[in-house]
Structure 1
Amino acid sequence: MKPLTTEVNIRLAQRSDAQALCALMKQTFMDTYASFNTPENMQLHIASHFALAQIQTELQEEDVQYLVIEHWAELIGFAKLVQNHSAKGLEDKITVEVARIYVAKAYHGQRLGAQLMQDCLNRAKGLGAETVWLGVWEHNPKAIRFYEKMGFQRFGEHVFMLGTEVQNDFLLKKEV
């Protein structure tokens, strides 16, 4: 664990962050899931979801916001919020999805994830959301515990494709 030498800054990502954000996405995804999946499926997923051009496009989309945690001008965590994207069971709600939330492995254990999630919840509320929801892999107990501590409750499941492999995600929600 790298100790924090100063306070961190959580802010909206800018287009100029695209390359660093893309690298952080790839690294945190590999750190989290590489030991559970084939290298081929990991590379397929990364190529189709974390390409620089895609991240640059998403940073310009009206319904997508990326939040980043910055420490000494280095990006060490991020979250992706998506408006106007609902899940089965939430069709009648105004929702924001936390589509991704990760903190670099070297900074785990310093409550940065909780700070980032609280910022996501505050921003979602500011966007008029009634409910924040997310999907979490059913075989990721650490993340499930984290979300439950943050007040999320399970309301369903959906299929998640990682490369060519079909996986199951639990759907969790929290009223804001």
Structure 2
Amino acid sequence: MIAFRDAVVADADILCELARRTFSDTFGHLYDPGDLAAFLATHTPERWRNELADPAFAIRLAEQDGSAIGYAKLGPPSLPFEPRGASIELRQFYLLAPAQGTGAAQDMMAWVLDTARGRGADNLYLSVFVDNHRARRFYARHGFERIGEYGFMVGNHRDTDDVMRLTL
């Protein structure tokens, strides 16, 4: 059974480790170890505590048998583009591999959409790695449309991410 709850400041260490693990598991094989280490070093408990304490952010945690297995993070737009109207950004959306295909992603996306609307957003933005075909299909099924691209840095390595928008 997968349970969901709003993350709190006390979850900073858990989210820091989960963010590092999910990114490494999903993309770590693509990068030079030094670039990956530099990127993962930006995920600190202090940064997580600051975001968890900031009312501009909303973070949902997925747990199974008392262990964190995924999370979704909404926050103010940060991508290098001019957002339209009242906007919010899906900053991160990750599940550990064993939780993928369980329906947990659908439940988390329902929370994302409800929360974005509840915060008065007219538009929801996100970025996704161009070669992450599974995630791109998932977002497209939820109505997100590609509106551009930008360079996502992992250490000194530049990836191309698609910027996507959903009109709420």
TM-score of the aligned structures, taking structure 1 as reference length? 0.89
Deviation at 1:156, TM superposition (A): 0.9
What is the distance in 1 between the residues matched to 2:130 and 2:45?
28
Mapped partners of 1:84, 1:137: distance in 2: 17
* RMSD of equivalent CA atoms: 1.4
Please tell me whether residue 35 in structure 1 is matched to residue 29 in structure 2.
Answer: yes
Aligned to 1:3: none
Distance across 2 between alignment mates of 1:87 and 1:136: 14
- Partners of 1:152 and 1:121 lie apart in 2 by 11
Structure 2: gaps (5+ residues): none
Deviation at 1:9, TM superposition (A): 2.3
5+ long unaligned stretches in structure 1: 1-5
Contact 1:83 1:95 in 2 (8 A): yes
Q: TM-score, normalised by structure 2?
A: 0.93
Q: Give the counterpart of 1:61 among 51, 54, 65.
A: 54
1:86, 1:95 → 2: CA distance? 11
* Separation (CA, whole Å) in 1 of partners of 2:77 and 2:130: 25
Alignment of 1:80 with 2:41, yes or no, is: no
Give the match for residue 172 of structure 1.
164
**SS class of match (2:53):** coil
1:86-101 alignment runs, 5 A limit = 88-90=81-83, 92-101=84-93
What is the CA deviation profile of residues 138-165 of structure 1, one whole-angstrom value per residue up to 9, with x for unaligned ones?
A: 1111111111112111111112111111
Residue of structure 2 aligned with 1:24, choices 18, 29, 33: 18
Give the Cα separation in 1 of the matches to 2:40 and 2:69: 18
Answer yes or no: is the 8 Å Cα contact 1:85–1:96 preserved in 2.
no
Q: Distance in 2 between matches of 1:155 and 1:87?
A: 12
